[in-house]
Amino acid sequence: MAEPMVLINAFEVPGDQAEQFIAAWEKTRDYLQSQPGYIDTTLHQAVTPEADFQFVNVARWETAEAFLAATQSQGFRESAIGLVGYRPHPSLYRVVRT
């Protein structure tokens, strides 16, 4: 199998909205993990309030096409409604060095 694609999404979340954000993220994850090409995902929370991004999600997908199909679906828009308002910085990445 080819190397998976890595979706990295850094979110701007006010410190007092961490629990709300996590609940909304879980709902979106539950939808995405049912979609073809999903491999896994890991949500990271900053240990300090000074971080530019309180949360960073790192997920793996089999292909860019699978990720795009999943996130352009009506089901995604419905499941991700709770994330509206938390400014995201998403992109697909490839591992280039270790």
Question: Would you count residue 66 as binding its own copies (CB under 8 A)?
Answer: no
Decide if residue 96 touches its own copies (CB under 8 A). Answer: yes
Q: In angstroms, what is the minimal distance from the CB of 98 to its own copies?
A: 5
Residue from the set 20, 27, 53, 60 that interacts with its own copies by CB under 8 A:
53
Does the footprint of its own copies cover residue 19 (CB under 8 A)? no
Residue indicated by tokens 């929370």: 45
- Rounded Cα–Cα distance for residues 24 and 21 (Å): 5
The pair of three-digit structure tokens given for residue 46, joined into one six-digit string: 């900053």
Contact call for residue 5 and its own copies (CB under 8 A):
yes
3-state class (DSSP) for residue 8:
strand
